[in-house]
């Protein structure tokens, strides 16, 4: 039996894990409601940043030029690149998958890195600096530049304040938000496309389907399962849960 006043590290970790899981579930549910993305507005914008950076950086890793990232106040965004990507159709499918799959990979890295408490502060500071650099190098909308710079500065300043435990929880929290950003527009994940700033775009899963065959809903399911798996696995490793 656990003492209600037990303050052991194990109990604190269990409480942190429960809070992370609860907020992740609540975030996903709220995002599916009409007012949800406004209630969670900062996380909505961050999820757009994670998603579009996933596209852009994947394109860059495959030899293309990551040209720009546009983030709008309604939470939508577009990443553009130029030049041919490596591996032809497979490379194009990987760039499309980089949006929904890149953030869970980055998020799991945040969570896993939190196992070493001394790296939590440096991880937060690094993330803040990456946000700032992305605003300077790639973001091309005034709103996007302003809010991402603000987020970056807040996170960098946060990394030099508060306790180690707070830093650990914060980087895990951001990691969880990155992992679940795939589910912000759950319907989009299982659709053929949607409207962004008045223009029709094919969904990421539809682009993957065009390049690799199989229907878009198959790729939607695969991405959803992968995102959940990598989140759960990274939290298990961080908290040493078997």
Q: How far apart are CA 87 and CA 75, in angstroms?
A: 32
Please tell me the total count of domains within the chain.
1
Given 3-state DSSP classes, what are the helix, strand and coil percentages for the chain, each rounded to the nearest 5? 70, 10, 20
173 inside domain: yes
130 inside domain: yes
Angle, helices 41-61 vs 142-159, to 10°: value is 100
pLDDT at 118: 77
pLDDT at 50: 92
pLDDT at 242: 41
Q: How far apart are CA 95 and CA 100, in angstroms?
A: 10
82 inside domain: no
pLDDT at 30: 84
Give residue for tokens 């306790």: 163
Residue 176 sits in which domain range?
A: 9-70+102-239
144 inside domain: yes
pLDDT at 114: 82
pLDDT at 3: 40
pLDDT at 180: 86
Angle, helices 88-113 vs 216-239, to 10°: value is 20
pLDDT at 73: 92
Strand partners, 196: 199
Q: Which helix (H) or strand (E) holds 77?
A: strand 77-82
83 inside domain: no
195 inside domain: yes
Q: At 3, list the tokens.
A: 């003492």
pTM passes above 0.75:
yes
Q: Within 10 A of 10 (CB to CB), how many other CB atoms are there?
A: 11
47 inside domain: yes
Q: How far apart are CA 203 and CA 50, in angstroms?
A: 16
138 inside domain: yes
Give residue for tokens 């950003």: 181
pLDDT at 5: 38
Q: pLDDT (tens digit, 0 to 9) for every residue of the chain, 242 residues total?
A: 334 434 555 666 667 777 777 888 888 888 888 787 788 889 889 989 999 999 999 999 999 999 999 999 988 899 999 999 999 999 999 999 999 998 898 899 888 878 777 788 899 999 999 999 999 999 999 999 999 999 999 999 999 888 888 888 899 889 988 888 888 877 778 887 666 656 667 889 999 999 998 899 999 999 999 988 998 888 887 776 54
> Which one, of 72, 70, 90, 89, lies nearest residue 80 by Cα?
70
């Amino acid at each position: 039996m656990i003492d209600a006043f037990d303050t052991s590290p194990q109990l604190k970790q269990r409480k942190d894990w429960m809070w992370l899981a609860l907020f992740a579930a609540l975030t996903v549910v709220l995002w599916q409601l009409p007012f949800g993305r406004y209630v969670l507005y900062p996380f909505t914008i961050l999820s757009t940043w994670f998603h579009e950076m996933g596209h852009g950086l994947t394109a860059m890793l495959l030899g293309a030029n990551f040209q720009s990232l546009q983030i709008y106040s309604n939470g939508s965004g577009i990443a553009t690149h130029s030049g041919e990507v490596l591996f032809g159709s497979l490379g194009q499918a990987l760039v499309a998958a980089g949006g929904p799959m890149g953030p869970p990979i980055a998020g799991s890295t945040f969570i896993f890195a939190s196992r070493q408490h001394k790296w939590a502060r440096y991880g937060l500071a690094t993330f803040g600096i990456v946000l700032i650099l992305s605003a300077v190098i790639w973001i091309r909308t005034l709103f996007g530049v302003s809010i991402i710079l603000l987020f970056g500065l807040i996170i960098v300043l946060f990394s030099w304040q508060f306790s180690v435990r707070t830093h650990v929880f914060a980087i895990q929290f951001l990691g969880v938000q990155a992992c679940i950003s795939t589910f912000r527009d759950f319907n989009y994940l299982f659709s053929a496309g949607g409207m962004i700033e008045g223009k029709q775009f094919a969904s990421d899963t539809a682009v993957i389907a065009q390049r690799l065959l199989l229907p878009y809903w198959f790729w939607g399911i695969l991405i959803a399962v992968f995102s959940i798996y990598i989140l759960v696995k990274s939290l298990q490793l961080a908290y040493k849960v078997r």
